[in-house]
Amino acid sequence: MLQANTILDLSAIKAILPHRNPVLMLDRVQVVEADHLIGVKNLSINEPFFQGHFPGHPIMPGVLQIEAMKQLAEIAVRGELDPEGCNDVYLWKLAKAKFRNPNVPGDRAKVEVKVESITDGVAVINGSVCNSGGVTCEAQFSLKMRAKSAPSEMPEMFNDYDRAAGFAKEIGDVVAVMPHRFPFLLIDGIRIMEEARAVAVKNLTGGEAMFMHAAEDYAVMPETVLCEILAQAGCACVLARPENNGKLGLFAALMDAESFAPVYPGDQLVVDVDLPPARKAFGKGSGKIYVNGKVVFQSSLMFAIVDPA
């Protein structure tokens, strides 16, 4: 049980969370009450994600703000959801997340969560992130516990989503329209590109930075990063439209996200996104991520198309 008015330093945070760099998003935590926690994440240009999001216009990815809230909430509820500390506390559902303002190098992010309820193994959380300029992100989400698992079969090899089947947009075409770069470019090509739909492919490999977030014995992709993979597939579709040449695509909101199964190194993600043409600077879409034909994740999203600063 967390004690009120306790300060957790980095070593204490790591003793509770399995997360490690570069996806550990908390530097210090204050336990205000057992169900009310405040965290600090200092933002430095030396953060790896700033190098790829975006070169020349560094912005903290919105999904990493959600990840910071998720990690802070996990500290609050892990003792009840997983008292033995041997299972996986994961982001089960994200009801809504709104991105209001950017966090950039030099900012200090204040992360705050309140546990609204824990019922039948589901913890419902309200969270926010702010900097000295005000609120940058707000979210309502649910955490759940699942047993740690491992792939039970080899992936299906050489299907219609491999390069030999023909990509509508190779990776060179993708980076020509998208500002994302290493280590935060999270699609490997576009298999199908239509006016209002894109099907992207992401090959998950164990050497990837996003798998270095947890203990060696359990490498799964964080659900927040699955949100980003889905969004980047949509971004590639939207920014390829002639009227959006040279612009940036930014998250405005995520809605009704749900995780159905973990994804592992060796999986091939097929990311199917529908994005009707936007009439204004904002647009809406929805998408699903498949592994071997089964849905592992889905979400709706709202995005903004803006000129670079």
> Encoding tokens for residue 218?
């359990």
Nearest CA to 121 among 83, 155, 159? 83
Q: Which ranges in 127-198 belong to alpha helices (H)?
A: 171-177
Catalytic residue from among 19, 53, 180, 213: 53
Task: Give the span between the Cα atoms of 216 and 209, in whole angstroms.
Answer: 13
Could you say which DSSP state residue 169 is in? B
53 an active-site residue? yes
Is the Cβ–Cβ distance between 186 and 202 less than 8 Å? Answer: yes
Task: Give the span between the Cα atoms of 43 and 54, in whole angstroms.
Answer: 15
Angle, helices 223-239/62-81, rounded to nearest 10 degrees: 160
In sequence order, the 6+-apart residues with CB closer than 8 A to the CB of 166 are 191
Is residue 121 left, alpha or beta, with left meaning phi > 0 and alpha meaning psi from -120 to 50?
left
Active-site positions read 53
